[in-house]
Amino acid sequence: MADERDPVVSRRYRELGAEEPPRELDERILAISRRGLERRRWYGPAAIAAMLVLAVGVAVQIERKPEDAVVADAPQKEKEQEQPAAKVEAAEQAKPAPKAAAPHQFAAEPPAAPASRADEAPRELAKRNEGAAAASAPQAAPSAGASVQDRLMSKTESPEAWLERIAELRRQGKHEEADKALAEFRQRYPGYRLSDQVRAKVEKK
Amino acid sequence: MEAGDEELMLAYRDGNAGAFETLYTRHRGRLYRFVLRSVKARGTAEELFQEVWMRVIEARSRYTPQARFTTWLYTIAHNLLTDHWRRKGLTLVELDEDTHAPAPDDPARSAEARQALSRFAAALEALPPAQRQAFLLHEEGGLSLAEIAAATGSNEEAAKSRLRYAMAKLKAALDDG
């Protein structure tokens, strides 16, 4: 019975030669091994980028659809909604400095979603034209601008950012706007639980 | 201290190209001979050899060191060879004269040595494929009986029996000289 570790057989086997793969084959395989890593390097980020683009695309579509559906009766409703706002603005003309500044301050904030804003521009223009009869042009425009800005922000900003904005309004003493923004917030996020700390900042004392 | 095969493979999986080069350099010769002596044509051996490494490269993201890297590598090679034999039949490579060991000065002894090697090569080629695989996995891969069994999908007893028969036949070819 032969031992499975026979040194004579092993030695003779070694004498058959020590062939090696050709250099070109080595180079080809090593190049492929490196390409495999390179591919992985950009596949990951590319896949993430593609997913983000897709997610944003879907979100934008979802965001647009309900608006498009109500666009037919929107001007009338918006007009109705803005009339009280215009009245409030007119009444507040008596205290010019802080109140008049408010819409401009919002407008100066960085846009949350430039694409959405660009999309809103024509509609905003049409609305301004409609609202011109209800209030004087110089005042109505910022008022309408603030309204659109509010809507845009409420559509795009996170609940936390929204609450922070309300808290800022309270700090600035703009309680009426803060109340309005808080009401919109509650309408949008009915299940959102406010911590005591946040509640103290955003609710009227 | 030199990094182990498994460690190198994990490093390659994690993006270290140099780790693969080290691993490849370490195993290229033995794996190449294992494949070359299992098939007839050198071109086919090169294709299969490349294919083995392609499989290693492709499988890197799934690699977990459950067994020795060598066992895994030769299992891939064995499976590819089995597929190849299924398609083409069973033969061993014909060894080139110039790949033999350097010939002694004495022409008579040189001829005798060449004859002995030819007999040995013929005996290796004549082995049943399962026995030849067991022998080559043992000689080139350095695999233990348990690892040969794992690589060839058999059990340890079968691996031991195949290797023992292969050794006996090759030794007999040497003794005939």
Is residue A149 left, alpha or beta, with left meaning phi > 0 and alpha meaning psi from -120 to 50?
alpha
Q: Which two tokens stand for residue B125?
A: 């080629």
pLDDT at A90: 46
pLDDT per residue as tens, chain A (205 positions): 444 678 888 888 988 888 899 999 999 999 999 987 776 555 666 667 778 888 888 888 777 665 554 444 444 444 445 454 444 444 444 444 433 333 333 333 333 333 333 333 333 433 433 333 333 333 333 344 444 455 555 556 788 888 999 999 998 888 999 999 998 888 888 888 888 888 888 888 7
% of residues, chain B, pLDDT over 90: 56
Q: How confident is the model over B48-106, as pLDDT tens digits?
A: 999 999 999 999 888 888 889 999 999 999 999 988 888 765 543 333 333 333 444 55
pLDDT at A20: 92
Q: Are A169 and A181 in contact (CB under 8 A)?
A: yes
Chain A residues with CB under 8 Å of B13 CB are none
Contact call for B58 and A29, based on CB within 8 A: no
pLDDT at A121: 36
B89: closest CA of chain A, how far (Å): 23
Q: Is B109 on the interface with A (CB under 8 A)?
A: no
Alpha-helical runs (H) found in A95-158 = 96-108, 114-131, 137-156
Grade residue B159 by pLDDT with cuts at 50, 70 and 90.
very high
pLDDT at A128: 39
Contacts of A86 (CB under 8 A, 6+ apart): A131, A134, A135, A139, A140, A143
pLDDT at A21: 94
pLDDT at B22: 95
Chain A residues with CB under 8 Å of B53 CB are 29, 32-33
DSSP chain B: -PPPHHHHHHHHHTT-HHHHHHHHHHHHHHHHHHHHTTSS-HHHHHHHHHHHHHHHHHTGGG---SS-HHHHHHHHHHHHHHHHHHHH----PPPPGGGSPPPPSSHHHHHHHHHHHHHHHHHHHHS-HHHHHHHHHHHTS---HHHHHHHHTS-HHHHHHHHHHHHHHHHHHHHH-
B113, B125, B153, B77: CA torsion to nearest 10? 80
pTM over 0.80: no
pLDDT at A4: 63
Give the separation between CA A97 and CA A75, rounded to whole angstroms. 30
Mutate to test the interface with A, among B36, B57, B127, B176 (most CBs of A within 10 A): B57
pLDDT at A42: 57
pLDDT at B107: 61
* ipTM surpasses cut 0.85: no
- Among A13, A131, A122, A120, CA closest to A67: A120
pLDDT surpasses 50 at B164: yes
Chain A residues with CB under 8 Å of B11 CB are none
Mutate to test the interface with B, among A5, A9, A38, A42 (most CBs of B within 10 A): A9
